[in-house]
């Protein structure tokens, strides 16, 4: 089959690679001039364990399976990663109850190695930490996400696939049993495909609306939740990722480490209506307050605005968490068309597993 994947983020690349390795002729259309310039280069680069997501959800299934696949992929392709492990810390008894239920949910989801520990055991692992107890996840790690995307691109091209850069998809329609797709850019025009995967991240809804036969009423609402990061100027004091108990909309202002062991903090949750990528320095005040709950030793003046990313959410503040949404032919009735909506965290961790599911729908 001639397969078009719209978007060369980590998910689009993983889908394109899986489709090409299955023997399809694959082209990826990417609006920008390089791979992974969207949300895929604006995240925490965490390989998540999989305990945050409700049993039976796509996020639970693909995170746990995708994590195992990702570690194997990294080993086979020489992609740098470090299994630092992570502590989700509880500040008080109410939060202890929350991490206990996270532990139960995680075990139900098949996350291996989860262990509830007391405050002093947590301090034994991380002496600067102050908490009433913690959930230890030894499988959580950090990945060089650009190295990973380069490896996906390499596999895609080895299997005969190609990426067309600066080639935005502007519309599509059914014509003689195929998808006629319009492209902008200097190589623009209309070309035909047997199957189309919409993996356009923050633009997935607008791409879906540009497909004439796809009912506009099926396009889910999109809500933008910016996550801001602050860099830490001093020497690292933690050797694991440290997360507070999750907050509505995100996982809480956490400590992440890069592959060199340097610390940074974030992301927070800032509900926005337009895409902007500036970090407001005034948000530092909230960061100091939140971080000092578990690290009272955070020095004044040590945080500097860093980067931010935008979560393509399907739900707003005070609404129940939405799952990933895969709208495939079995749901909408149009052959060979698959939309990926709301692929926020843990989309990076889930990418290889999500890709297998999506490719399974292409000839339906
Ligand atoms: C703050 C934050 C922290 C996160 N942390 C983590 C984490 O630690 N671990 C984890 O597993 N996940 C994390 N995630 C989630 C993860 O980053 C995303 O799920 C993942 O990057 C989504 O990839 P994607 O390919 O779907 O989208 P994107 O990376 O956004 O790619 C979409 C691509 O489509 C292109 N495009 C758009 N419109 C068109 C068009 N019309 N034609 C052609 N191309 C088009 C864009 O240019 C872009 O390159 C985080 C997300 C955020 C926002």
Task: Quick: pLDDT tens for 186-202.
Answer: 878 999 999 999 999 99
* C-beta of 11 in contact with ligand 1 (< 6 A): yes
Q: How far apart are the first and last CA of the chain?
A: 12
pLDDT at 187: 79
CA distance 246 to 239: 20
pLDDT at 246: 85
pLDDT at 249: 62
Q: At what angle do helices 58-77 and 93-109 cross, to 10 degrees?
A: 70
Q: Over the stretch 15-74, which tens digit does the pLDDT of each residue have?
A: 999 999 999 999 999 999 999 999 999 999 999 999 999 999 999 999 999 999 999 999
pTM: 0.97
Query: Of 146, 312, 348, which is best to mutate to test ligand 1, by the most ligand atoms within 8 angstroms of its C-beta?
Result: 348
pLDDT of residue 77 exceeding 80, the answer is yes
Residue keyed to tokens 């998808």? 179
> What is the phi/psi pair of residue 300, to 5°?
-60, 145
CA distance 238 to 216: 48
Tally of residues, the chain: 364
Residue 267: C-alpha distances to residues 166, 224, 254, 264 (Å): 30, 14, 7, 9
* C-beta of 309 in contact with ligand 1 (< 6 A): yes
Residue keyed to tokens 């060199």? 260
* DSSP letter, residue 57: -
Which candidate, 228, 225, 255, places its Cα nearest to that of 317?
225
CA distance 358 to 364: 11
Residue 233 pLDDT grade (very low, low, confident, very high; cuts 50, 70, 90)? confident
């Amino acid at each position: 089959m001639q397969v078009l994947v719209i978007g060369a983020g980590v998910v689009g690349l993983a889908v394109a690679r899986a489709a090409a390795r299955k023997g399809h002729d694959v082209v990826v259309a990417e609006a920008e001039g390089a791979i992974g310039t969207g949300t895929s280069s604006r995240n925490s680069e965490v390989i998540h364990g999989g305990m945050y997501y409700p049993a039976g959800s796509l996020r639970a299934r693909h995170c746990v399976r995708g994590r195992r696949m990702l570690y194997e992929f990294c080993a086979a392709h020489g992609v740098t990663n470090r299994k630092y492990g992570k502590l989700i810390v509880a500040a008080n008894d109410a939060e202890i109850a929350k991490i206990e239920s996270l532990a139960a949910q995680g075990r139900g989801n098949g996350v291996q190695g989860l262990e509830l520990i007391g405050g002093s055991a947590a301090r034994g692992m991380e002496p600067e930490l102050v908490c009433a107890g913690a959930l230890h996840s030894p499988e959580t790690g950090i990945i060089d996400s650009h190295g990973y995307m380069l490896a996906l691109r390499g596999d895609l091209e080895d299997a005969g696939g190609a990426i067309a850069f600066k080639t935005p998809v502007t519309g599509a329609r059914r014509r003689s049993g195929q998808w006629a797709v319009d492209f902008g850019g200097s190589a623009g025009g209309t070309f035909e495909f047997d199957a189309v995967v919409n993996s356009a991240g923050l633009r997935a809804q607008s791409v879906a609306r540009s497909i004439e036969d796809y009912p506009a009423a099926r396009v889910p609402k999109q809500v933008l939740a910016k996550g801001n990061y602050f860099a830490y100027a001093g020497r690292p004091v933690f050797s694991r990722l440290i997360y507070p108990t999750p907050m509505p909309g995100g996982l809480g202002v956490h400590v992440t480490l890069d592959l060199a062991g340097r610390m940074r903090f974030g992301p927070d949750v800032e509900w926005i209506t337009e895409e902007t990528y500036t970090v407001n320095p005034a948000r530092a005040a909230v960061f100091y307050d939140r971080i000092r709950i578990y690290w009272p030793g955070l020095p004044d003046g040590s945080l500097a605005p860093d980067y931010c990313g935008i979560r393509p959410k399907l739900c707003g503040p005070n609404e129940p968490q939405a799952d990933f949404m895969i709208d495939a032919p079995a749901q909408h009735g149009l052959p060979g068309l698959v939309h990926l909506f709301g692929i926020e965290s843990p989309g990076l961790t889930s990418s290889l597993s999500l890709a297998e599911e999506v490719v399974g729908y292409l000839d339906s």
